[in-house]
Structure 1
Amino acid sequence: MTAHVAAGYMSWGYIMVYVMDAGRAPRGTIAQKPLLLSLLITLSISAFFVAFPGVDLALSRLFYVEGIGFPAGEVEALQTFRAFGQYFPLALTIALVVGLILKLIYPSRPSLFPPRFTLYFASLFLLGPALMVNGILKPLFDRPRPRSVLEFGGTDTFVHAWGLGGQFFDDRSFVSGEAAVVACLIPLAFFVPVVWRRCVFVLLAVFTALTALNRIAFGAHFLSDVLIATGLMATLSIGLAHLIYGRPGVQSCDIRLDAALGELGHRLHDARRKTIAQFVTTIRRLSLAPAMLQPAPTNGTEQQS
C-alpha cells in the first residue's frame, strides 16, 4: 500500500505545484496535462484492482483473526486517531464558515480567509466527499465492507472494486468517505509558505495514509476503496485548482469576490435595518390601536343629562 500511496501523493504534489504556478511547466512535458495525468493514475489503480481482486482480500486478511474478526477496531488508540481524522476536516469547515459569517457581519473589513481559498475548499468538500462519494458512488455500487463478506465471517458475497454487486443494503464500502475527506486536506500544503510546503505536504500525506490503513485494519474498507477515493479527490482538487487558480486573469478574483461579499453584507445589514424599522412601526401601531378604539371620554354635564 505504501508504494501506491506514495507514488500517488508525489504525483499529486508535482501536479498541484504546476497548477499553482503554471509558468514553471515547460511545454511538451506531462505536467502540461495534470488533470489527465491524475485521471490516468486513478484509472490504472482501478484497472489493477479489477484485474486482481484478490489483492484486496489478501491485505484485509492480515488484520483478520478467525473467530474474532478485526480486533483493531477495539483498540482505543486507533479509535481516537479515527476521531481526530473526522474532527480535523470538520474544524477546517467550521473555520471557513466562521470566516464567511464574520465577513457578512463586518462587510467593510477584509475577509478572514482569502475568498478563493474558501471557495476552493468549500467546492472540494461539497463536490467530493458529499456529492461524488456519498451522493453518487456509495448509492450506486453495492460493495459490502470486509467485515461483512463470507471470507471474513460475514454473510455477503465479496464484490471487486467498481462492481455493482446487486445486493441492496445501507452499509457500503466503495469508496471510502473518510479517506476522501482526509485526502481533501492535502491541498492545504500548497497554501502555506514555500519553505514549509514540502514538510506540510508530507505530514498531510502520511496522515491520509494512516487514516486509510486504519480503515482497512478496522475491516471497514478494502485497499482499493481508499486508493481510488484518494485518486478521485486528487483529480477533483486539480480540476478545481485549475478553474479557480490556474486560468489566466483570475489573479484579481480575490478582490472581486471580497467586494461581492462586502456588498452582500451591506445589503443584509440594510435589509435587517428595514425589517427592524418595520417591526417597530408595527408594534407601535398595535400598541396605539386599543386607545383609538376606546370611546371618547364624556364630561359630567353630559352624564347628568
Structure 2
Amino acid sequence: MQMDNGCHRCFLVASRMLVGSIVIGCIAAAVFSYYPNLDLVVAEKFHTSGRRFIGMDSLVLQSIRIAFNGLFIVVCAVAAVGSYYSRARGSWSGLIFCEWNFLLVCILAGPLVVTNLGFKDHWGRARPRDVLELGGKHGYTPPLRPAHECAKNCSFVSGEASSIFTIGFAATILFPLEAALLLPLSIAFGSLAGLVRMMEGGHFLSDVVFAGIFSANTTALVFFALKMFGCLRQNP
C-alpha cells in the first residue's frame, strides 16, 4: 500500500510505534536505573578471560555480522537509487518518490545522526571489553549516565543494531498491511544484530535495547515530520 496523506493505516502504525517505544523506553529506563549493574551481569555471561569474549573467534557470528552490515549497505544504495529514479518516473520498484525519500531520511536520521553523531560520539560509555570489570582499563558506567570513558564511537547505543532496527521499522510503516509480521521480524533481527555484538564484547544489553527504542521513535518522528511538511503526498 502506498503512503500518502490519506494513508490512515500508515499513520496508525507510526503512532503506535511512537507511543510503544516511549512506554517501553520508560520501562527500560526504570529497570536499568534500579539495576545499574544489570549490563555487567549479562556481559559476564559472554566474557571468558582478559578482554576476550566467546564470540570473538566465531566464524558463524562474524558471518552474521557481515551479512547484516551488507544488508544495510545494500538498502542504503537501493534507497538512494529508488529516490533518484522515482523522482523522474513517479515510482520505482513499486514505491513512489516520497516513500523512497522516507526510507532514505530514516537511514540518515536514525543510524547516522541520532546513533552515531549523537550518542556514540558524545555519550562516552566504554565498551564491555574495555571496562575494568571485564579485563579493560576504563570505568563502567550505567547506560543513562553520560561519561568520559571513551572519546568517540563508544558503546551507547549499538550502531549495527540501530541500522537493522531502522530498516525494519521503516518497512513496517511503509507496508502497514504487513505490520503484524514486519514489526516482530524487525525486533528479532535487530536484537540478533545486537546479540552478536554483545557476544563479541562490543556492546552491553542496554546499548541494544535503547538502540531499538531510539530507532523506533526516530522512524515514527520522521514519518510525522515529513507528513507535517507535506512531503508524503502521493505523486499524480
SS at match of 2:207: helix
Q: 1:99-248 maps to which residues of 2 (within 5 A)?
A: 99-103=82-86, 107=88, 109-112=89-92, 113-187=95-169, 188-192=171-175, 194=177, 196-244=178-226
Please report how far the alpha carbon of residue 33 of structure 1 lies from its aligned counterpart in structure 2 after TM superposition: 7.3
Q: Quick one: distance in 2 between partners of 1:39 and 1:197?
A: 19
Matched-pair contact (CA < 8 Å) for 2:157–2:207 = yes
In structure 1, how many angstroms separate the alpha carbons of the residues matched to 2:129 and 2:232?
51
Confirm whether residue 50 of structure 1 aligns to residue 33 of structure 2: yes
* Alignment gaps of 5+ in structure 1: 1-16, 26-30, 257-305
The answer to whether the Cα contact below 8 Å between 1:19 and 1:238 also exists between their aligned partners in 2 is: no
The letter of the residue matching 2:213 is: G
The letter for the 2-side match of 1:211 is A
**Amino acid of the structure 2 residue aligned with 1:89:** F
Hey, what's the Cα distance between the residues in 2 that align with 1:242 and 1:192?
Answer: 16
1:193, distance to aligned residue in structure 2 (A) = 7.5
User: Aligned letter for 1:47?
Assistant: A
Identity %: 24
Change (3 A) 1:203 1:33: closer
Aligned length: 227
Q: Which string of whole-angstrom CA distances, capped at 9 and with x for unpartnered residues, describes residues 117-169 of structure 1?
A: 11211111111111111112122211100000111111111111122223353
How far apart, CA to CA, are the structure 1 residues paired with 2:9 and 2:226? Answer: 10
TM-fit CA distance, 1:185? 1.5
1:145–1:171 CA contact under 8 A, matched in 2: no
> What does residue 4 of structure 2 align with?
none
TM-score (norm 2): 0.84
The residue identity in structure 2 corresponding to 1:233 is: S
| Contact map agreement 2:56 2:199 (CA 8 A) in 1 | yes
SS at structure 2 position matched to 1:121? helix
Q: Report deviation, 1:77.
A: 1.0
Structure with greater Cα Rg: 1
Q: Is the 8 A contact 1:34 1:238 kept in 2?
A: yes
Bigger fraction of residues in helix:
1
Give the TM-score taking structure 1 as reference length: 0.66
**Structure 2 spans left out of the alignment, 5+ residues:** 1-6
**1:69 equivalent in alignment to 2:52:** yes
- Aligned residue in 1 for 2:23: 40
CA apart distance, 1:32 = 7.2
Give the superposition deviation at 1:226.
0.8
- State the shift of 1:66 in Å: 2.3
Is this contact kept in 1: 2:17–2:216, CA < 8 A? no
How far, CA to CA, are the matches of 2:24 and 2:134 in structure 1? Answer: 30
Higher RCO (Cα < 8 Å, 6 or more apart): 2
Q: Which residue of 1 aligns with 2:233?
A: 253
Q: Is the 8 A contact 1:70 1:217 kept in 2?
A: yes
